[in-house]
Structure 1
Amino acid sequence: MELKVTKYEIDDGVATVWFHRPGRGNSWTSRMNAEYRWLMDTIDRDPRVRVVVLTGSGDQFCVGADAKALEFYTETEKDYADTVDPAALAQPGTGVHEEFEHDLVWHWGLRVPVIAAINGACAGIAAAIASFCDLRYAAEGIKFTTSTPRLGLPSEYGLSWVLPRIVGTTNAADILFTGRVVRSEELMRMGFLNGLYPREGFLDEVYRTARMIADQVSPAAITSAKRQLYADLLSHSVGGAIEHSKDLIGVMMRQPDFKEGVAAYAEKRRPRFAPGA
């Protein structure tokens, strides 16, 4: 696919994906949706990649839906669902869990962990995308808002489900009902973020975590843990989680990564895991 509003690179196991409309605040469009899905599907299939960092070009992460796209919906009689049908688009993260087959939830079905590196304003659908990433880091002083209450719209793309599970019902109600601008420092206190860093050198700090994952963590183990985390969150069965983990332990103890991990531990060195499947 020709990339016009996104870009990416792969460096030593770490893929970086950029929302790339710097003159428009990296605002979201149907083209960006198509490119982003294609990119994430392609990257997830590349065995060289062990972790993805998602960020925005320039000083913004993504300011939400493009204003022209919003204006279109005030003038058309078309049903919204028909205009965003993803059937013809790439289908990342599929075949893992039936609940992961939906928009944005597909992040949870990816083999690789996805780190949202929120380098600037994050609004609207971008707030939902960040929420469905696995880890979230932000620069100091950035602005975050769902926007929808001020646009006469409902909580979008599963935020009413995922936000309470990240920040709790009280904080989620505040964010979703008011649509107010929340600074990254407050997001950190709420538990939305895994880390908060100065703007200068922000991505360098995020890459420290990404490189640690790429260099020291078994790709098979992190894929398993990721899928366990979200499937168990949906199942609400602690006993089932325990029994399933025991089954997985039995399988993974027969894999090369376990042998290498034990050897590295005994020899007090970094493990040398093979690329992911």
Structure 2
Amino acid sequence: MSTEPILCEIRGPIALLTLNRPDTRNALSGEEMFAAFEQLFERLDADLSIRAAVLTGAGSAFCSGGNVAEMRDRTGMFGGSPEQIAAHYRAGIQRIPRAFQRLQVPIIAAVNGAAIGAGNDLACMCDIRIAASTARFAESFVKVGIIPGDGGCWLLPRIVGASRAAELALTGDSIDAAEALRIGLVSRVVEPAALMDEALALAARIAANPPQVLRWTKQLLQQARTGTLDEALDAAGQLQGQAHHTADHAEAVTAFFEKRPPVFTGH
């Protein structure tokens, strides 16, 4: 069995990524884990044949967040003075949201179980979230006497709104998949046995589109989180100009008039 912290299986135009630390319920800790996100995402971005990715967890959990045993023992990221811990976070877990911010490939979180603390934030870093009916979510940092150190207070309000994000972060309450769907944290809930089929089918529908245009669309969606309308329109105009000059655009228009499925090459 592989000891890699994140498994990567390429299925045609789709990359299936699996957090591979079931013994810790896929806790986010250690240089090996942090580096794996960076290296895998760089690999996916460098390969234009990869048009979508799915992220899930091995075992019963999606991701349990930080390693509480390391918190107790004040080891890893949690050791040292306040200044040293801040530096550990910058050099450690905060590399993950930055890697997601750089990732050009659309990515879906297939939340197969508990997504707790940093695990909830990890799901929020993905572009789309779908959940098994048995999944649970919690922005639970306050329950262990800390704050969301991985960007959760930036991510969560942009998905569920300021009031609901504040309620989740300030209470630390856990919610089930049905509630996550109701508040918009996930876009759909399915039976556990159907989760991966649903996630991969969604990824396939995304991957049926031109790869460069998918990446540009994701870029605009990311920019919309913080930019103004004028900035969004300027960026859209520039990218649209490039899109109109791609071979894939010409192929899409030709296929439309010929009433056949288009064949995209990424050019």
Same structural fold, with TM-score higher than 0.5 when normalized by the shorter chain: yes
Alignment: residue pair count: 261
Task: Using the aligned pairs only, state the percent identity.
Answer: 29
Structure 1: runs of 5 or more not aligned = 90-100
**Deviations for 1:240-275, whole angstroms, at most 9, x for unmatched residues?**
322332232222211111101111222222221114
1:83 Cα deviation after fit: 2.5
* Residues 28 and 65 in structure 1, CA contact (< 8 A), matched pair in contact too: yes
**Structure 2 residue aligned with 1:225:** 217
Q: Aligned partners of 1:3, 1:22: CA distance in 2, in Å?
A: 11
Tell me if 1:241 matches 2:229.
no
1:50 Cα deviation after fit: 1.0
* Residues 136 and 193 in structure 1, CA contact (< 8 A), matched pair in contact too: yes
> Counterpart of 2:104 in 1: which secondary structure?
coil
TM norm structure 2: 0.90
* Residues 105 and 132 in structure 1, CA contact (< 8 A), matched pair in contact too: no
Alignment of 1:107-126 (within 5 A): 107-126=100-119
**Structure 2 residue aligned with 1:22:** 22
**Structure 2 residue aligned with 1:32:** 33
CA root-mean-square deviation: 2.2
Structure 2: runs of 5 or more not aligned = none
Call closer, same or farther: CA 1:275–1:249 in 2, change over 3 Å. Answer: closer
* Residues 44 and 112 in structure 1, CA contact (< 8 A), matched pair in contact too: yes
> Counterpart of 1:202 in 2: which secondary structure?
helix
Q: Aligned partners of 2:95, 2:151: CA distance in 1, in Å?
A: 10
**Structure 2 residue aligned with 1:250:** 241
> Counterpart of 1:15 in 2: which secondary structure?
strand
1:153 Cα deviation after fit: 0.7
Q: Aligned partners of 2:264, 2:64: CA distance in 1, in Å?
A: 38
1:14 Cα deviation after fit: 0.5
> Counterpart of 1:201 in 2: which secondary structure?
helix
Alignment of 1:49-88 (within 5 A): 49-73=50-74, 76-78=79-81, 79-86=84-91
1:45 Cα deviation after fit: 1.6
TM norm structure 1: 0.87
**Structure 1 residue aligned with 2:12:** 12
* Residues 141 and 185 in structure 1, CA contact (< 8 A), matched pair in contact too: no
Call closer, same or farther: CA 1:53–1:148 in 2, change over 3 Å. Answer: same
> Which of structure 1's runs of 4+ aligned residues deviate more than 6 A?
none
Instruction: Give 2:40's aligned amino acid.
Output: L
> Counterpart of 1:17 in 2: which secondary structure?
strand
> Counterpart of 1:157 in 2: which secondary structure?
coil
